[in-house]
Structure 1
Amino acid sequence: METIKTLLLTGYRSYELGVFQDKDPKISIIKKAIKNNLVPYLDAGLEWVIVSGNLGVEMWGAELMSELKVIYPNLHLGVIFPFEEFGKQWNEGNQEKLVFLRQEADYVEAVSHKPYHSPQQLQNHTKFLLQHTDGVLAVFDPEFPGKPKYLLDDAQKIAENTEYLIQLITMDDLQNTFYE
């Protein structure tokens, strides 16, 4: 396995998976699938996992990092928001998740230092993430489109000309993880 030093973790938002409770059993399956896919990269020298702070796969993956950091002390969590005040409009419970994420992260920054004002900020964010990572691990199934599709389409364009890794955790993968 080639050494990936910095990996972008993304995937569906919680509402895209029909997850509206923190105790939903789907979350533990998703975390287990992420862990199963991350461990080989960690064993091969992965140093950074980067997330954008979106609710769903990214937040659950970030929660998993504190557990993995015990086993892999060289692992770092980076949070790169698309713009300042990201998540400001979220409800109180989700605001708490954002506070936790900031506390757990080894690095926190925003690509745009202004509050949201244009879709261009999101495009710049995607471009920045893809330029500063060696690959992407996404909980995403092409048969079930969702928000991650846009980022993954851009990643695919990069992968056509470089050795950018794209690894998907599909619905079948999640189903198999459930039965492990």
Structure 2
Amino acid sequence: METLKTMILTGYRSYELGVFQEKDPKIEIIKKSIKNTLIRYLEEGLEWILISGNLGVELWGAEVVFSLQKEYPELKLGVIFPFADFGSQWNEKNQEKLSLIKSQADYVDAVSHEAYKNPSQLKNHTRFLLEHSGGVVMVYDEEFPGKNQYFLKEAQDFSETHEYLIDKITMDDLQNVINE
């Protein structure tokens, strides 16, 4: 497989993991696991991480990218929203967090430049991300499907006709980080 230059990072929303506080110890475990995974790809030539801006794994992953940029200045973060007003209905604290991530990202845009209208915007967004990346790192476990099962299904379908890597960080992987 040729060098992966661009990967999507996605996974569970914070509420799916029962994480409601910034100080939840689960966050550090997830971040460490993401960091370990990304370093492997960085050492093979990874340059871009793309996220959709979802609360949870994606925003924690963005923070990991920012911390890795000190050691890997070539690493860039792209935030590509499915629609224009993404996150506008969130509470103030979460909007501030998203705003901070956007301000530090290397690229920010939306696939649809209109407010949310219908699910086709989400489908177009997923397709766009798949077509503009060589793989995905997902915090995902088959036993706990969550919202990302839809993205995973699209990625699996896409990988049947394109060279596309799906790297899952499972609950076992997270447990291994705890045991390190």
Offset of residue 48 of structure 1:
0.1
**Aligned equivalents of 1:165, 1:145: Cα separation in 2:** 19
Structure 1 segments, 4+ long, off by >6 Å, are none
Task: Please tell me whether residue 166 in structure 1 is matched to residue 166 in structure 2.
Answer: yes
Whole-Å separation in 2 of the counterparts to 1:11 and 1:148:
6
Q: Which residue of 2 aligns with 1:61?
A: 61
Number of equivalenced pairs: 180
| Deviation for aligned residue 1:11 | 0.1
CA contact (8 A) 1:11 1:57 kept: yes
| Offset of residue 101 of structure 1 | 1.0
Tell me how far 1:2 sits from its aligned partner: 4.4
1:154 to 2:154 alignment: yes
Aligned twin of 2:145: 145
Post-superposition offset of 1:112: 0.2
Offset at residue 163 of structure 1 (A): 1.5
> Paired residue for 2:119?
119
Q: Structure 2: 5+ residue runs without aligned partners?
A: none
Query: TM-score scaled to structure 2, two decimals?
Result: 0.98
Match of 2:86 in 1: 86
- For residue 60 of structure 1, report the CA deviation from its aligned partner: 0.1
- The percentage of aligned residue pairs carrying the same residue is 64
Aligned-partner Cα distance in 2 for 1:132–1:22: 31
Task: Give per-residue Cα distances to partners, 1:56-99, cap 9 Å, x unaligned.
Answer: 00000001111100000100000000000100010010011111
Q: CA RMSD in A?
A: 0.9
Corresponding position of 1:72: 72
Amino acid at match of 1:164: Y
Local SS of the residue matching 1:37: helix
* Whole-Å separation in 2 of the counterparts to 1:44 and 1:72: 12
Distance 1:127 1:169 in 2: 22
SS in 2 for 1:71: coil
Distance in 1 between the 2:27 and 2:97 partners? 15
Q: Counterpart of 1:132 in structure 2: which amino acid?
A: H
Which residue of structure 2 aligns with residue 45 of structure 1?
A: 45
Contact 1:2 1:44 in 2 (8 A): no
Distance, in Å, in 1 between the alignment partners of 2:148 and 2:133 is 16
Structure 1 CA distance for aligned equivalents of residues 31 and 57 of structure 2: 8
